[in-house]
Structure 1
């Protein structure tokens, strides 16, 4: 059973998300919070697998909460805003995904399952906006092995699992990832996957 925490300052939104998710047989809403500050206090006690986080809330916004929680929790931003600056700030803060509030129940449930496995979750319209708004730049060259590793990161595999798949050690996987981070000028796995997708270096997860 996957535990989900909902963070939104509107009670009706929380109720709606609760209703959408509790229909799923493998998902349980373990708690709620009405602000980012409340989420920071409640999440360590509830230990959810995934946190759905609104961005703009009084009493502590989602962005500051993501910065404080992302090291320990997988966080999907769920908001009405899809401009490039919001997406970039959320990803830089540590969010594993970015969805819009018009997402369907099936899409939301699938996103929760993917995020729980460490996979990046990005709304199609958000991905398209990023691709359109980002100035064209020459894509860095990744080796065949680096591409293989990054594809498996995008699929949600851990370093140990990637090592087993490619018959190399987890330490070697980490070395390849550090080289990828340097080439893409990022500092974490989620940002690397997003950058690689935008540059066409790897396939979007699920395709």
Structure 2
């Protein structure tokens, strides 16, 4: 929006809007401003969950004037505020502003509204991914704290698997693997019987498993990178390694293969 000199915004946390992103401002008066519901233009938008505008901020009778000093100190007069609403709650408020009186116009309003809608959809998707991750963590926690018998069986299974890997004799190793699989089956874990499958699952590094787990939840490479605090190219490298080890040609095939191997939950 080259015809709008100032845009800014921030996230809503604990029912308070925190301004943190700015473009075109000349002062730091708005930086870090905390805006409660119903206060100023942003607080009104956050409370009502719909766009609102003023053509002369300092003289407007439709808003409170708690923030006149930083707003007028920046020289802003005509301001449009648009909320990003997810599941009926304002999560972000975006502003477009002019330093002269008068309406911003329909074009600016349409652009801001479209951007808010798209951002809301993206946040909604990320919220769902986060929900699934929390659900998975809760499920794992419940399983881990189930009963002492399950914990003991897991320990026996791990010891048998470690012993099998240390045995050079293929026949004995297969017998130990079979016993380990029977122990695993007793507490509901499906362990691959095929030696090659076990070798593949054991060859996956913890970081590769982290990456393919996020992919299985529907995350893009960029989202995986953000969640694991690594670069997008690093994510691609780990993913290629998983695909090579599982002899998969696509991300989807790699996820299916890892589920079949027991690396990911079915």
User: In which range does the TM-score fall when normalised by the shorter chain?
Assistant: 0.3 to 0.5
TM-score scaled by structure 2? 0.26
TM-score (norm 1): 0.33
Structure with the larger RCO, 1 or 2 (CA within 8 Å, 6+ apart): 1
